[in-house]
Amino acid sequence: MKLAPLHEPTRDGETLTEFSHPLEPVTAVRSTLITSSLASLRNRGLFDRYDALQRSPHREMILSSVAGAWLEVDVALAHYQACDALNLSSDEQLAIGKDVSKRIHETFLRWIFTAARGVGVTPWVLLRKGDSLQARLHRGGGLRLTRISENVARVEIALSPLLEIPYFRNALLGMYVAGVELLASNVTARSRVSSSLASKPARCPTSSRATRNEE
């Protein structure tokens, strides 16, 4: 399927950032994502429960990982499947995603906050960086950003098997919300997954929507 060129208006909005081409499935993630996730679990008193649920062959690699390395996607799947087995509420999962975002993107988010106070940076500046931030944390996959209206954005992430895990979807949503909340008030978000996750990235495997309401 031919992808729409950058900035070409689509049926339901304007495409600001398009999927890279050709798209390849996610094969690895930065260990920083896992170590930050584990730190958040520890801070919330959830690590012992997680540890009891973490029975995969990748357990030792997960628990001994250090920030900055690439881990095979199967390792990340094992981590997030154990997280999902904690059966936390969607709100708790989203809050953990916010914690992880602050740990991983602390320097970048601090720059955004400082710039926003000085020159009126909008959430769209942050969201346009989504594809580069995605590439920092995932090897493979892709991201498309669409402006639905002035206050509504759709972020679509393609070809990531991690998105099949509800915990990961909610935590990822929290990572986006954490950034947008620096620049907007009354931020709301939701996610959905299509059944074509693995084979048809052009059909929008995952969609997240954040709405900014002016006070």
Q: What is the pLDDT of residues 174-194, one digit of tens each?
A: 998 988 887 888 888 888 876
Smallest CA-to-CA distance from 146 within 6, 13, 11, 23 is with 13
Smallest CA-to-CA distance from 153 within 13, 20, 35 is with 13
Please name the fold of domain 9-211: H-NOX domain (3.90.1520)
Q: What is the pLDDT of residues 102-132, one digit of tens each?
A: 888 765 666 655 655 555 678 888 888 888 8
Q: What is the pLDDT of residues 31-44, one digit of tens each?
A: 999 999 999 999 99
User: What is the Cα Rg of the chain in Å?
Assistant: 17
**What is the arithmetic mean of pLDDT over 11-32?**
90
- Provide CB contacts within 8 A for 111, sequence distance 6+: none
pTM: 0.82
Q: What is the pLDDT of residues 132-172, one digit of tens each?
A: 888 889 999 999 999 999 889 999 999 999 999 999 999 99
**47, burial (CB in 10 Å: exposed 0-12, middle 13-18, buried 19+):** middle
Q: What is the pLDDT of residues 64-106, one digit of tens each?
A: 999 889 999 999 999 999 999 999 999 999 999 999 998 887 6
* Domain boundaries, given as residue ranges, for the chain: 9-211
Q: Give me the residue label for tokens 């990961």.
A: 168
Report the C-alpha gap between 156 and 8 in whole angstroms: 16
* Per-residue pLDDT at 7: 38
